[in-house]
Structures are given as C-alpha cells and as structure tokens.
Amino acid sequence: MCTIEKRGSLFILILDSDEDDQHRLNPTLISSILSALSEIKSQSTTGSALITVAHGGSGKFFCNGFDFRWAQAVSSQSDARRRLRQMTDSFREVVAAFVSLPMPTVAAISGHVAAAGLVLAFVHDYLLMRSDHGVMYMPEVNLGITLPDYFAAAMRAKIGSPMALRDVVARGVKVRAKEAMEMGIVHSIHDNVESTIEAAMRLGEELVNKKWVGETYAEIRKSLYPELCSALGLTHNLIISKI
C-alpha cells in the first residue's frame, strides 16, 4: 500500500512495507498508488511538488516490479497470463497519471528498482539514487517476456544513449547508481538512504519555490515525451494561462 504525507507544498508519496518489502506492484498497490495520485492532483496548487520514497522492511528495494507471486497463484498458466495482463493494463493508468501530474516529481531511489518498478521510477522528472546499495534493471530479456509498449516508450524517453538503451533493455544489465549517473539516467547520487531522501527534500523545496503553474508544467512535460503519451493515450492541450 502507499500513503501520502503533506509538508507545506510538498507531497510525499510513500510506498510502505506492511505486506511486502519489495513493494511489488499487484492490484492492491497499483490501485492504492492510483488513488493517491488522484488525491494529490486534486489538492495541487501553484508550486506543488511530489517526492516518492519507499519505506520500511529491509530497505533493500524501492520497487521490484509486478507481483509475479500473485500472478502465479492461480491454477492455470492462462489465468496467470491474464493476471499479468491485468496488472499491465492497470499500471498503465499509474504511468499516465504521473506523466500528466501538474507538478514536478522527484523519486528517491532507496534500493533495487526493476522492471515495472523502473518504469515507475522513470516517470518522475528527477531520479535521485543512493550509491551504497541498489541496482536498476530490466529483467524482461532474461525472463523471456516482451516489454509492454508503454514500458519501451518510457525507456526510450529517459535513456538518451543508444548503447545505454541496449544495455538496459536488451541486455538486462544491472545498473548501479554511479553507472546510472554516467548514463545520464539519474539526476544525482548520494552516499546512503538518508542523504538521498534529504537531497530529494531539498530539491523538492527548490522546485516548490519556482511556483510553477502545474497545468502548464504538465503540458510541457507531455510535449517532451510524445511517444510515451501516445502509448498512454494522453492528449496534448495548448494552455495559455497568462501572457
């Protein structure tokens, strides 16, 4: 499940660990994130910003992707596939909600982030990562699973170098913070989980101080990732709030 905390204009979305410290995305967590984002959107004002963090448990994982335990807890393979498809479809709405969220978004990556979990990280505007623990990776090629269209679009949108894109998506390379920095995927890296979260808070405050108009912010963001938007079914609106 996830919870929201609000400090001034900063929203903090916390993936908590009551049931699963890997924060695997199953229907419960997906719908919990979706309703949290909808709540945040409805409360947003000029100068809001969002920080996503993962708490609790062993602290080893930020998000380890779709919950395959849940998908496989059925009697037939076709039912398992149906469950995976269900998660893929419902998580698409989470990604769409992030891409159209009317405020800057920051993710404090406190541990491993894999598959759908990496997509969740990538839909934030700024990724901060601890350097003492955790890797980012896309295990699909190892698992023999293709990427949903919006996963691939998110990867292409956020990984600029063709070689880095190949290594992450088509090679399943496990990318540590320092390597992610070199690849231009993360905004900054920090010594441990505490300093990562502190840096995320500082960045959040800095972005809040910009007092950006959220609606325009979201439209500019969307204009940067047209292929991702089209995979998500998001349309673009030209908003001139003032001149």
| Binding residues for other proteins (CB under 8 A) | 104, 125-126, 157-160, 184-185, 187, 210, 212-213, 216-217, 219-221, 223-224, 226, 236, 238-243
Sheet holding 188-190, edge to edge: 2-7, 10-15, 49-54, 105-109, 126-130, 188-190
176 contacts: CB under 8 Å, gap ≥ 6: 131, 134, 135
CB of 223 to other proteins, least distance (A): 4
Which lies closer to other proteins via its Cβ, residue 55 or residue 156? 156
Cα 120 versus chain centre, distance: 2
Nearest residue to 62 via CA among 77, 52, 71: 52
Nearest approach, Cβ of residue 147 and other proteins (Å): 18
| Side-by-side strand order, sheet with 112-114 | 61-63, 112-114, 135-137, 175-176
Nearer to other proteins, 70 or 225 (CB): 225
In the complex with other proteins, the residue whose CB is nearer, 115 or 228, is 228
Long-range interactions of 208-212: CB distance < 8 A, separation 24+? 208/8, 208/9, 208/10, 208/47, 208/48, 208/49, 209/47, 210/47, 210/104, 211/46, 211/47, 212/46, 212/47, 212/103, 212/104
Question: Residues near 69 by Cβ (< 8 Å), separated by ≥ 6?
Answer: 24
Instruction: Specify the amino acid at residue 148.
Output: P
Place of tokens 């049931």: 19
For the CB of residue 26, give the shortest distance to other proteins in the complex, in Å.
29
Distance CA 109, CA 128 (A): 6
By beta-carbon proximity to other proteins, the closer residue of 80 and 165 is 165
Give min distance, CB of 182 to other proteins, in A: 12
Smallest distance from the beta carbon of 133 to other proteins, in angstroms? Answer: 23
Q: Which residue's CB is nearer to other proteins, number 19 or number 227? A: 227
Taking the complex as a whole, the smallest distance from the CB of residue 207 to other proteins amounts, in Å, to: 8
Considering the complex, state which of residue 74 and residue 220 has its C-beta at the smaller distance from other proteins: 220
Closest CB to other proteins among residues 91, 217: 217
**Residue 120 C-beta: closest distance to other proteins, Å:** 17
